[in-house]
Structure 1
Amino acid sequence: MADSSERPTPPEGLPPTIVDALTGCTPDELRKAIVHAQELLHFHGEAELPVEAEANDDILRVTEHEGYTEVVKQFRCADGCDDCPHGPYLYHVTEEPQPDGSRKVHWSFMGTVQAQEE
């Protein structure tokens, strides 16, 4: 079981009743809640924002905000780089509608994250 002092902070705007309900869930119940929340997003016509690490990326933190997802990640470049990993770097990720009706994920680089911020 995880240390309760390390409990994640809920995203801005999430109603306290939902925070309380989720906090009391088992890992299996949380996985089922995620599946149901994704189904509800699709029902409302919104797709899940695909924030996934690429081959040489390590995603350190993902925080949902109104209108964007905050992602902190670092990356490793070619073998033999003495400075690897690089980062961590902060990005704001949005899903933008395209003229053809599709949606495209857009990563905006915000800057380097200082050690005390991480």
Structure 2
Amino acid sequence: MTSDPKKPTPPEGLPDQLVLELHQLNAQELRKTIIHAQELLSFQNESPSPVEPNPGDDILQVTEHDGYTEVVKRVFCSEGCDDCPHGPYHYYVTQEHHPNGTEKPYWRFIGKIELDDE
């Protein structure tokens, strides 16, 4: 879909037309889109995904399972790195319960992975 290796790759199964429209939005419009998508998930009694990309992450695949989320992502480091992007890497993400009652995603690194389309 894109030739720029630093441009995020859309998740598998996202309609092409939606991807094109999202790429045309500015930062404020994207934030509003995220809020609305979370509201729609809540309306459908679905919890939002625990997967929030860190700056420099390019999430390639997200697969929900009972009790965990499987994630494949590439990682970009600082400017000037000739080896970027790194990966893709495979992770299992679970919800970690804290004594104060909060939950946070816990990313368990599985290892480097080869994708079929590479």
* TM-score above 0.5, yes or no: yes
Higher CA-based Rg = 1
Residue 38 of structure 1 is matched in structure 2 by 42
Query: 2:105 aligns to what?
Result: 105
Say whether the 8 Å CA contact 2:74–2:85 is kept in structure 1.
yes
1:116 CA displacement: 2.5
Structure 1 unaligned segments of length 5 or more: list them. Answer: 1-6, 9-26, 42-46
Q: Tell me the equivalent position of 1:95.
A: 95
Distance 1:51 1:33 in 2: 14
Q: How far apart are the structure 1 equivalents of 2:81 and 2:73?
A: 18
Are the equivalent residues in 1 in contact too, given 2:50–2:93 (CA < 8 A)?
Answer: no
Of residues 75-84 and 48-57 in structure 1, the stretch that sits farther from structure 2 once superposed is: 48-57
Structure scoring higher RCO (CA < 8 A, sep ≥ 6) equals: 2
Q: How does 1:1-118 map to 2 (within 5 A)?
A: 8=13, 35-39=39-43, 40-41=45-46, 47-116=47-116
Moved over 6 A (4+): none
In 2, distance between residues paired with 1:94 and 1:105? 6
Q: Aligned residue pairs: how many?
A: 85
Q: Distance in 1 between matches of 2:48 and 2:37?
A: 14
Stretches of structure 2 that go unaligned for 5 or more consecutive residues are 1-11, 19-35
